[in-house]
Amino acid sequence: MARRDRLMTPTPLSDLKPVRDRLRGIGDVLDPKDAEEPILAPAVRAAVKGWLDEIRARDALAAVGLKPRSSALLSGPPGCGKTTLAHHLAARLGYPLVTVGAEHIVTSSLGGSEGNVAKLFATIESLDQPVILFIDEIDAIGSKRRDSSGDTGGAVTAMNSTLTVLLRRLEAFGGTMIAATNRADTLDPALWRRFGMQIVVDLPDEDARWAILKRYGLPYIFADEALDALAGLTENAAPSLLRQLMEGVKRRLVLGAMQGSLPASLVEAVAAVVAETQPHPDYDQPPLWARQASSSQIISNISAGQAWPPARQEA
Ligand SMILES: Nc1ncnc2c1ncn2[C@@H]1O[C@H](COP(=O)(O)OP(=O)(O)OP(=O)(O)O)[C@@H](O)[C@H]1O
Ligand SMILES: [Mg+2]
Protein backbone atom coordinates (compact mmCIF):
# COMPACT_ATOMS: atom_id res chain seq x y z
CA MET A 1 0.00 0.00 0.00
CA ALA A 2 1.36 3.45 -0.91
CA ARG A 3 2.42 5.59 2.01
CA ARG A 4 -0.34 8.10 1.26
CA ASP A 5 -2.97 5.34 1.29
CA ARG A 6 -1.64 3.98 4.53
CA LEU A 7 -1.91 7.42 6.09
CA MET A 8 -5.52 7.61 4.94
CA THR A 9 -6.50 4.17 6.24
CA PRO A 10 -8.22 4.42 9.60
CA THR A 11 -6.70 2.25 12.31
CA PRO A 12 -9.11 -0.60 13.10
CA LEU A 13 -10.66 -0.56 16.55
CA SER A 14 -8.99 -3.85 17.49
CA ASP A 15 -5.59 -2.17 17.09
CA LEU A 16 -6.46 0.49 19.62
CA LYS A 17 -6.56 -1.75 22.68
CA PRO A 18 -2.80 -1.70 23.28
CA VAL A 19 -2.78 2.10 22.91
CA ARG A 20 -5.70 2.41 25.30
CA ASP A 21 -3.93 0.16 27.82
CA ARG A 22 -0.74 2.23 27.63
CA LEU A 23 -2.63 5.46 28.07
CA ARG A 24 -4.85 4.42 30.94
CA GLY A 25 -5.06 7.37 33.36
CA ILE A 26 -3.02 9.54 30.97
CA GLY A 27 -5.62 10.30 28.29
CA ASP A 28 -8.63 8.94 26.40
CA VAL A 29 -8.20 7.36 22.99
CA LEU A 30 -10.79 8.24 20.32
CA ASP A 31 -11.26 5.94 17.37
CA PRO A 32 -10.94 7.55 13.90
CA LYS A 33 -14.07 5.75 12.77
CA ASP A 34 -16.21 7.58 15.34
CA ALA A 35 -15.25 11.03 14.04
CA GLU A 36 -17.77 13.46 12.55
CA GLU A 37 -16.93 16.23 10.14
CA PRO A 38 -17.75 19.63 11.63
CA ILE A 39 -19.38 22.33 9.50
CA LEU A 40 -16.85 25.14 9.48
CA ALA A 41 -16.34 28.65 8.18
CA PRO A 42 -14.58 28.67 4.76
CA ALA A 43 -11.39 30.22 6.21
CA VAL A 44 -11.14 27.50 8.86
CA ARG A 45 -11.83 24.79 6.29
CA ALA A 46 -9.05 26.17 4.11
CA ALA A 47 -6.59 26.26 7.03
CA VAL A 48 -7.43 22.66 7.93
CA LYS A 49 -7.10 21.45 4.36
CA GLY A 50 -3.76 23.23 4.02
CA TRP A 51 -2.46 21.55 7.15
CA LEU A 52 -3.61 18.08 6.08
CA ASP A 53 -1.97 18.55 2.67
CA GLU A 54 1.23 19.62 4.37
CA ILE A 55 1.32 16.62 6.72
CA ARG A 56 0.68 14.24 3.83
CA ALA A 57 3.45 15.89 1.80
CA ARG A 58 5.98 15.27 4.60
CA ASP A 59 8.46 13.49 2.31
CA ALA A 60 8.35 16.11 -0.45
CA LEU A 61 8.84 18.87 2.12
CA ALA A 62 11.75 17.00 3.75
CA ALA A 63 13.52 16.94 0.38
CA VAL A 64 13.81 20.73 0.56
CA GLY A 65 14.64 20.84 4.26
CA LEU A 66 11.12 21.69 5.46
CA LYS A 67 8.87 19.96 7.95
CA PRO A 68 5.09 20.11 8.11
CA ARG A 69 3.86 22.26 10.96
CA SER A 70 3.37 19.98 13.92
CA SER A 71 0.88 21.81 16.09
CA ALA A 72 -2.27 23.91 16.05
CA LEU A 73 -4.14 25.82 18.71
CA LEU A 74 -7.94 25.84 18.35
CA SER A 75 -9.72 28.59 20.21
CA GLY A 76 -13.31 29.76 20.36
CA PRO A 77 -16.53 29.63 22.36
CA PRO A 78 -17.80 26.34 23.82
CA GLY A 79 -19.74 24.01 21.57
CA CYS A 80 -18.42 25.37 18.25
CA GLY A 81 -16.51 22.25 17.23
CA LYS A 82 -12.95 22.34 18.60
CA THR A 83 -13.00 18.77 19.90
CA THR A 84 -15.01 17.60 16.89
CA LEU A 85 -12.46 19.20 14.56
CA ALA A 86 -9.46 17.68 16.36
CA HIS A 87 -11.08 14.23 16.10
CA HIS A 88 -11.95 14.77 12.45
CA LEU A 89 -8.40 15.89 11.62
CA ALA A 90 -6.92 12.82 13.27
CA ALA A 91 -9.40 10.61 11.42
CA ARG A 92 -8.51 12.21 8.07
CA LEU A 93 -4.92 11.18 8.75
CA GLY A 94 -6.07 7.74 9.90
CA TYR A 95 -4.68 8.16 13.41
CA PRO A 96 -6.36 7.79 16.78
CA LEU A 97 -6.78 10.97 18.82
CA VAL A 98 -5.40 10.90 22.35
CA THR A 99 -7.39 13.49 24.29
CA VAL A 100 -5.92 14.80 27.48
CA GLY A 101 -7.95 17.09 29.73
CA ALA A 102 -7.02 19.15 32.76
CA GLU A 103 -8.24 16.26 34.92
CA HIS A 104 -5.46 14.07 33.54
CA ILE A 105 -2.74 16.56 34.37
CA VAL A 106 -3.56 18.94 37.19
CA THR A 107 -3.13 17.58 40.71
CA SER A 108 -2.54 19.31 44.00
CA SER A 109 0.36 17.05 44.98
CA LEU A 110 3.78 18.69 44.97
CA GLY A 111 5.37 18.32 41.52
CA GLY A 112 2.46 16.11 40.43
CA SER A 113 1.30 18.20 37.47
CA GLU A 114 4.83 18.58 36.05
CA GLY A 115 5.31 14.85 36.44
CA ASN A 116 2.05 14.18 34.59
CA VAL A 117 3.09 16.40 31.65
CA ALA A 118 6.46 14.66 31.41
CA LYS A 119 4.82 11.23 31.61
CA LEU A 120 2.27 12.15 28.95
CA PHE A 121 4.89 13.10 26.38
CA ALA A 122 7.20 10.20 27.27
CA THR A 123 4.31 7.74 26.84
CA ILE A 124 3.12 9.21 23.52
CA GLU A 125 6.68 9.16 22.19
CA SER A 126 7.13 5.51 23.17
CA LEU A 127 3.99 4.21 21.40
CA ASP A 128 4.45 1.81 18.51
CA GLN A 129 1.87 3.54 16.37
CA PRO A 130 1.40 7.21 15.58
CA VAL A 131 -1.37 9.11 17.32
CA ILE A 132 -2.42 12.74 17.35
CA LEU A 133 -2.14 14.33 20.77
CA PHE A 134 -5.02 16.61 21.77
CA ILE A 135 -4.65 18.72 24.90
CA ASP A 136 -8.07 20.11 25.77
CA GLU A 137 -8.54 23.15 28.04
CA ILE A 138 -4.85 23.93 27.68
CA ASP A 139 -5.42 27.15 29.64
CA ALA A 140 -5.54 24.97 32.77
CA ILE A 141 -1.79 24.38 32.46
CA GLY A 142 -0.77 27.09 29.99
CA SER A 143 -2.02 30.34 31.45
CA LYS A 144 0.33 33.33 31.70
CA ARG A 145 3.15 32.93 34.17
CA ARG A 146 2.66 34.97 37.30
CA ASP A 147 5.03 36.49 39.81
CA SER A 148 5.54 33.83 42.48
CA SER A 149 6.99 36.10 45.19
CA GLY A 150 4.65 35.94 48.16
CA ASP A 151 3.19 32.66 46.88
CA THR A 152 2.87 31.08 50.31
CA GLY A 153 0.86 28.04 49.24
CA GLY A 154 3.20 27.27 46.32
CA ALA A 155 0.31 27.11 43.82
CA VAL A 156 1.73 29.81 41.53
CA THR A 157 5.22 28.26 41.60
CA ALA A 158 3.70 24.86 40.75
CA MET A 159 1.72 26.29 37.81
CA ASN A 160 4.74 28.16 36.49
CA SER A 161 6.91 25.09 36.59
CA THR A 162 4.23 22.92 34.96
CA LEU A 163 4.18 25.41 32.09
CA THR A 164 7.98 25.36 31.85
CA VAL A 165 7.92 21.57 31.53
CA LEU A 166 5.16 21.80 28.91
CA LEU A 167 7.13 24.33 26.84
CA ARG A 168 10.25 22.17 26.96
CA ARG A 169 8.40 18.98 26.02
CA LEU A 170 6.55 20.71 23.18
CA GLU A 171 9.80 22.04 21.76
CA ALA A 172 11.24 18.52 21.65
CA PHE A 173 8.05 16.71 20.57
CA GLY A 174 8.30 14.98 17.19
CA GLY A 175 4.61 14.17 16.79
CA THR A 176 1.51 16.14 15.83
CA MET A 177 -0.32 18.01 18.54
CA ILE A 178 -3.55 19.99 18.75
CA ALA A 179 -4.64 22.05 21.74
CA ALA A 180 -7.95 23.75 22.48
CA THR A 181 -9.10 26.55 24.69
CA ASN A 182 -12.04 28.88 25.04
CA ARG A 183 -9.90 31.29 27.03
CA ALA A 184 -7.24 32.19 24.46
CA ASP A 185 -6.54 35.55 26.09
CA THR A 186 -5.27 33.84 29.24
CA LEU A 187 -2.58 31.78 27.48
CA ASP A 188 1.10 32.43 28.06
CA PRO A 189 2.69 34.16 25.03
CA ALA A 190 5.59 31.69 24.96
CA LEU A 191 3.13 28.81 24.72
CA TRP A 192 1.10 30.65 22.08
CA ARG A 193 4.12 31.06 19.84
CA ARG A 194 4.98 27.33 20.02
CA PHE A 195 1.94 26.53 17.84
CA GLY A 196 2.45 26.44 14.10
CA MET A 197 -1.12 27.67 13.65
CA GLN A 198 -3.71 29.47 15.75
CA ILE A 199 -7.17 28.73 14.39
CA VAL A 200 -10.31 30.44 15.71
CA VAL A 201 -13.34 28.15 15.63
CA ASP A 202 -16.03 30.74 16.08
CA LEU A 203 -19.83 30.88 16.26
CA PRO A 204 -21.35 29.86 12.92
CA ASP A 205 -22.65 32.47 10.47
CA GLU A 206 -26.11 32.17 8.93
CA ASP A 207 -25.05 29.85 6.11
CA ALA A 208 -23.25 27.54 8.50
CA ARG A 209 -26.23 27.56 10.89
CA TRP A 210 -28.49 26.56 8.00
CA ALA A 211 -26.27 23.61 7.14
CA ILE A 212 -25.96 22.57 10.79
CA LEU A 213 -29.75 22.71 11.34
CA LYS A 214 -30.29 20.66 8.20
CA ARG A 215 -27.71 18.06 9.22
CA TYR A 216 -29.11 17.53 12.69
CA GLY A 217 -32.67 17.53 11.37
CA LEU A 218 -31.93 14.45 9.28
CA PRO A 219 -33.40 11.96 8.51
CA TYR A 220 -36.39 14.33 8.62
CA ILE A 221 -36.56 16.67 5.68
CA PHE A 222 -37.15 20.26 6.70
CA ALA A 223 -38.22 22.78 4.05
CA ASP A 224 -35.61 25.31 2.91
CA GLU A 225 -37.94 28.14 4.03
CA ALA A 226 -38.21 26.65 7.52
CA LEU A 227 -34.43 26.31 7.74
CA ASP A 228 -34.04 29.91 6.45
CA ALA A 229 -36.30 31.17 9.22
CA LEU A 230 -34.58 29.09 11.92
CA ALA A 231 -31.09 30.09 10.74
CA GLY A 232 -32.19 33.74 10.87
CA LEU A 233 -33.48 33.38 14.44
CA THR A 234 -30.44 31.59 15.83
CA GLU A 235 -27.70 34.21 15.50
CA ASN A 236 -25.12 33.71 18.30
CA ALA A 237 -26.16 30.08 18.78
CA ALA A 238 -23.32 27.56 18.98
CA PRO A 239 -23.60 24.41 16.84
CA SER A 240 -24.07 22.37 20.01
CA LEU A 241 -27.23 24.37 20.78
CA LEU A 242 -28.47 24.02 17.19
CA ARG A 243 -27.95 20.28 17.48
CA GLN A 244 -29.88 20.23 20.75
CA LEU A 245 -32.70 22.19 19.11
CA MET A 246 -33.08 19.84 16.15
CA GLU A 247 -32.67 16.72 18.25
CA GLY A 248 -35.38 18.02 20.58
CA VAL A 249 -37.70 18.48 17.59
CA LYS A 250 -36.93 14.98 16.31
CA ARG A 251 -37.52 13.45 19.73
CA ARG A 252 -40.96 15.08 19.79
CA LEU A 253 -41.72 13.75 16.32
CA VAL A 254 -40.87 10.20 17.30
CA LEU A 255 -42.48 10.17 20.75
CA GLY A 256 -45.45 12.26 19.60
CA ALA A 257 -46.19 9.72 16.86
CA MET A 258 -45.94 6.86 19.37
CA GLN A 259 -48.08 8.53 22.02
CA GLY A 260 -50.57 10.33 19.77
CA SER A 261 -49.33 13.73 20.98
CA LEU A 262 -47.57 15.09 17.92
CA PRO A 263 -46.87 18.85 18.16
CA ALA A 264 -49.33 20.74 15.94
CA SER A 265 -46.60 22.35 13.84
CA LEU A 266 -42.86 22.93 13.61
CA VAL A 267 -43.37 26.24 15.48
CA GLU A 268 -44.93 24.36 18.37
CA ALA A 269 -42.17 21.75 18.44
CA VAL A 270 -39.47 24.46 18.36
CA ALA A 271 -41.22 26.47 21.09
CA ALA A 272 -41.31 23.38 23.32
CA VAL A 273 -37.55 22.82 22.88
CA VAL A 274 -36.79 26.51 23.44
CA ALA A 275 -38.79 26.38 26.68
CA GLU A 276 -36.55 23.68 28.11
CA THR A 277 -33.13 24.80 26.86
CA GLN A 278 -31.18 27.95 27.59
CA PRO A 279 -27.87 29.18 26.20
CA HIS A 280 -25.29 30.14 28.82
CA PRO A 281 -26.12 33.60 30.21
CA ASP A 282 -22.56 34.86 29.58
CA TYR A 283 -23.18 34.78 25.83
CA ASP A 284 -25.45 36.94 23.67
CA GLN A 285 -28.85 35.27 23.49
CA PRO A 286 -30.02 34.12 20.06
CA PRO A 287 -33.29 35.88 19.10
CA LEU A 288 -35.22 32.61 19.27
CA TRP A 289 -34.38 32.31 22.97
CA ALA A 290 -34.40 36.00 23.79
CA ARG A 291 -37.94 36.16 22.37
CA GLN A 292 -37.08 39.44 20.75
CA ALA A 293 -37.88 37.65 17.53
CA SER A 294 -39.41 40.98 16.78
CA SER A 295 -42.49 39.36 15.47
CA SER A 296 -44.59 36.33 15.60
CA GLN A 297 -44.52 36.75 11.82
CA ILE A 298 -40.86 35.62 11.67
CA ILE A 299 -41.59 32.80 14.06
CA SER A 300 -44.52 31.65 12.05
CA ASN A 301 -42.24 31.56 9.00
CA ILE A 302 -40.63 28.59 10.68
CA SER A 303 -43.60 26.52 9.65
CA ALA A 304 -43.88 28.04 6.18
CA GLY A 305 -43.92 25.45 3.46
CA GLN A 306 -43.16 22.73 5.98
CA ALA A 307 -44.96 19.43 5.46
CA TRP A 308 -46.08 18.23 8.88
CA PRO A 309 -45.03 15.83 10.14
CA PRO A 310 -41.99 16.11 7.89
CA ALA A 311 -41.13 13.33 5.47
CA ARG A 312 -38.20 11.09 6.31
CA GLN A 313 -35.28 10.61 3.98
CA GLU A 314 -35.05 7.12 2.50
CA ALA A 315 -32.41 5.06 4.30
N1 LIG B 1 -19.03 23.16 13.59
C2 LIG B 1 -19.85 22.15 13.91
N3 LIG B 1 -20.52 21.46 12.96
C4 LIG B 1 -21.35 20.45 13.29
N5 LIG B 1 -21.56 20.05 14.57
C6 LIG B 1 -20.91 20.69 15.55
C7 LIG B 1 -20.02 21.76 15.26
N8 LIG B 1 -19.52 22.23 16.42
C9 LIG B 1 -20.05 21.49 17.39
N10 LIG B 1 -20.90 20.56 16.89
C11 LIG B 1 -21.65 19.57 17.68
O12 LIG B 1 -21.77 20.10 19.00
C13 LIG B 1 -21.26 19.19 19.99
C14 LIG B 1 -20.16 19.85 20.81
O15 LIG B 1 -19.06 20.17 19.98
P16 LIG B 1 -17.55 20.16 20.49
O17 LIG B 1 -17.43 19.30 21.71
O18 LIG B 1 -16.67 19.82 19.34
O19 LIG B 1 -17.34 21.68 20.90
P20 LIG B 1 -16.07 22.36 21.58
O21 LIG B 1 -15.76 23.58 20.78
O22 LIG B 1 -14.99 21.37 21.75
O23 LIG B 1 -16.67 22.80 22.99
P24 LIG B 1 -15.92 23.02 24.41
O25 LIG B 1 -15.21 24.35 24.32
O26 LIG B 1 -17.04 23.04 25.38
O27 LIG B 1 -14.99 21.88 24.62
C28 LIG B 1 -20.78 17.98 19.23
O29 LIG B 1 -21.75 16.99 19.48
C30 LIG B 1 -20.81 18.30 17.78
O31 LIG B 1 -21.38 17.28 17.05
MG1 LIG C 1 -14.14 20.53 23.44
Domain spans of the chain?
Answer: 3-200, 206-301
pLDDT at position 302 is 84
CATH class of the domain whose range is 3-200: alpha beta
pLDDT at position 148 is 74
pLDDT at position 277 is 92
> Strand (E) positions, the chain?
28-30, 71-75, 97-100, 132-135, 176-181, 197-200
3-state class (DSSP) for residue 176: strand
Residue identifier of the C-alpha nearest atom 8 of ligand 1 = 81
- Answer yes or no: is the C-beta of 102 below 6 A from any ligand 1 atom: no
> Strand (E) positions, 127-263?
132-135, 176-181, 197-200
- Answer yes or no: is the C-beta of 181 below 6 A from any ligand 1 atom: no
- Answer yes or no: is the C-beta of 40 below 6 A from any ligand 1 atom: yes
CA of 77 to the centre of ligand 1 (A): 10
- Answer yes or no: is the C-beta of 280 below 6 A from any ligand 1 atom: no
Closest approach atom of ligand 1 to CA 76:
21
- Averaged over successive runs of 10 residues, the pLDDT of the chain (315 residues) comes to 48 75 95 96 96 95 95 97 98 95 90 94 93 96 82 78 94 95 96 96 98 98 95 96 98 97 93 91 90 59 88 89
Q: Is 184 exposed, middle or buried (0-12, 13-18, 19+ CB in 10 A)?
A: middle
CA of 60 to the centre of ligand 1 (A): 34
Q: Is 161 exposed, middle or buried (0-12, 13-18, 19+ CB in 10 A)?
A: middle
Report residue 64: phi and psi, to 5°.
-115, 20
Say which ligand is closest to the CA of 203: 1
Closest approach atom of ligand 1 to CA 215:
4
